[in-house]
Amino acid sequence: SASPLPADTSLLDRRRHVLGRHSPLFYDRPLHVRRAEGVWIEDTDGRRYLDVYNNVPHVGHCHPHVVEALCRQASQLNIHTRYLHEAVVEYAERLVATFDAPLSMAMLTCTGSEANELALRIARFVTGGQGIIVSSFSYHGNTAGLAAATTGLPAPEALAPHVRAVEIPDLTHWQGEPAALAARFAEQVADAVRSLQADGIRPAAMLFDTLFSTEGLPAVPKGALEQAVAIVRQAGGLFIADEVQPGLGRTGDHMWGYQAYDLVPDIVTMGKPLGNGHPLAGLVTRPDHVDAFGSKALYFNTFAGNPVSSAVGSAVLDVIEGEDLQGNARRVGAHIQAGLQRLASRHDLIASLRGRGLFFGLELMRDGRPAAGEARRLINDMRDRGVLISRIGPQDNILKMRPPMPFSIADADLLLSTLDSALSDL
């Protein structure tokens, strides 16, 4: 395999010194990056890497249309958000138009964490409850409230007394009937509701990533999520769909991950890809929920939805539509699934294929055990071969691939052939 030049150790040392040694960095030999374009990232030695990991540069790194919109608005006016300005109204109108009724009002934030925190506050106002149900391996943000509901990455803090976790059903290695697994999940959700109630806590919300990204992209039985949501609603709680990772056309078949199910969430939260790297996030919900919250509480966010952020958000939507990136995710995603299938037939290490559209994974197992060490080596080896991927899941053995949306068939073929060689040489 190729052997790139050593990482810039002096910058690494300075980083450790000023940011601390726990500030996370990818790879055994961290990548020192300089510029990027489309699906390619260039390091300081001028070497190019195929980006099969980053969903923040959703419409492609440094997309000229987005950069131009950002620069144009930044040179005209940027200001906090309590003045009248077209850009935020236009962006919010375009954003809510991509959702199903009755999700017709938006509240903007700067991060996914803020969006989820705000969604939980709204759920508490609307329901009068405090209880939260999450999945048993999930991440929704870095605030105090969300850290007390984090069951997955990184090391979980103590769960708050008002939080219950349920295990997301996965058909991948399930031998029985799908309906039986769905029923088992429904029973767990009902147990979580009863357990909250037994402690005198009314459920406020169930908060799930609709693709279960952190959980490792499980194959959820048909109807299981719908049943769980019905149970929570029956008990007075809301369903909050976290679309920070699945959203904005990535799954190919749908604009939003929840649209693969037969339901409409009460609140949808969004983040990472909305601003193509510019901090733009938010939620959409029903007007009556916005009113119920707004009549009692003030929500003000200095930066969220400022003219520059809104111009950027609209430019991202322009590119998604103009370049048919959702269609691209569907077409290239199908090509990738077929390619991964061929890899699985050649490499015993691959235990299952996951995901859809431009969000996909490979589960690695050796002798019936999760192959986390192999996954780690493979990711580092792929980096040395010039392809950037990562891993996820409770066992850290699922390769995580989620490239910028203009990922082409040729890019996919390069990924597949590189994976094939790296797996052969492992």
Tokens 């406020």 found at = 204
Residues 276-295 that bind ligand PMP (CB under 6 A): 281
* Residue with smaller CB distance to ligand PMP, 235 or 244: 244
Tokens 């699945």 found at = 246
* Residue with smaller CB distance to ligand PMP, 277 or 339: 277
* Residue with smaller CB distance to ligand PMP, 145 or 178: 145
* Residue with smaller CB distance to ligand PMP, 207 or 325: 207
CB of 209 to ligand PMP, least distance (A): 4
Backbone phi and psi for residue 282, each to the nearest 5 degrees, phi listed first: 165, -170
CB of 226 to ligand PMP, least distance (A): 20
- Residue of minimal Cβ distance to ligand PMP: 112
* Residues 6 or more apart whose Cβ sits within 8 Å of residue 11: 32
Q: Does 212 bind ligand PMP (CB under 6 A)?
A: no
* Residue with smaller CB distance to ligand PMP, 91 or 139: 139
Q: Pairing mode, if any, of strands 267-270 and 281-285?
A: antiparallel
**10 Å Cβ neighbour count for 234?**
11
* Residue with smaller CB distance to ligand PMP, 213 or 328: 213
Q: Pairing mode, if any, of strands 163-166 and 203-209?
A: unpaired
* Residue with smaller CB distance to ligand PMP, 112 or 221: 112
CB of 424 to ligand PMP, least distance (A): 32
Q: Does 140 bind ligand PMP (CB under 6 A)?
A: yes
* Residue with smaller CB distance to ligand PMP, 123 or 351: 123
∠ Cα 356 358 361 (to 5°): 60
Candidates 133-141, 172-180, 184-192, 361-369: pick the segment binding ligand PMP (CB under 6 A).
133-141
Q: Does 139 bind ligand PMP (CB under 6 A)?
A: yes
3-state helix, strand, coil in the chain (%, to 5): 40, 20, 40
Instruction: Classify 356 as helix, strand or coil.
Output: strand
Q: Does 141 bind ligand PMP (CB under 6 A)?
A: yes
Q: Nearest to residue 233, comparing CAs of 121, 118, 105, 129?
A: 129
Selected binder of ligand PMP within 203, 271, 282, 403 (CB under 6 A): 271
Candidates 221-229, 242-250, 301-309, 417-425: pick the segment binding ligand PMP (CB under 6 A).
242-250
Q: Does 209 bind ligand PMP (CB under 6 A)?
A: yes
Q: How far apart are CA 153 and CA 32, in angstroms?
A: 24
Q: Does 53 bind ligand PMP (CB under 6 A)?
A: no
CA–CA distance from 320 to each of 149, 177, 209, 373 (Å)?
A: 33, 39, 22, 37
Four-CA torsion 15, 17, 21, 26, nearest 10 degrees: 10
CB of 191 to ligand PMP, least distance (A): 24
Tokens 């916005």 found at = 290
Is-contact 249 329, C-beta < 8 A? yes
Candidates 30-38, 94-102, 238-246, 288-296: pick the segment binding ligand PMP (CB under 6 A).
238-246
CB of 390 to ligand PMP, least distance (A): 12
Mark out the alpha helices in 20-111 (DSSP H runs): 64-76, 86-96
Q: How far apart are CA 419 and CA 344, in angstroms?
A: 11
CB of 279 to ligand PMP, least distance (A): 8
Interaction pattern, residues 91-130, with ligand PMP; x per rule: CB under 6 A: --------------------xxx--x--------------
Q: Nearest to residue 229, comparing CAs of 202, 257, 190?
A: 190
Q: Does 400 bind ligand PMP (CB under 6 A)?
A: no
Kindly tell me the burial class for residue 365, based on how many C-beta atoms sit within 10 Å of its own C-beta (0-12, 13-18, 19 or more). middle
**Contacts to ligand PMP by CB under 6 A:** 111-113, 116, 139-142, 209, 213, 242, 244-245, 271, 281
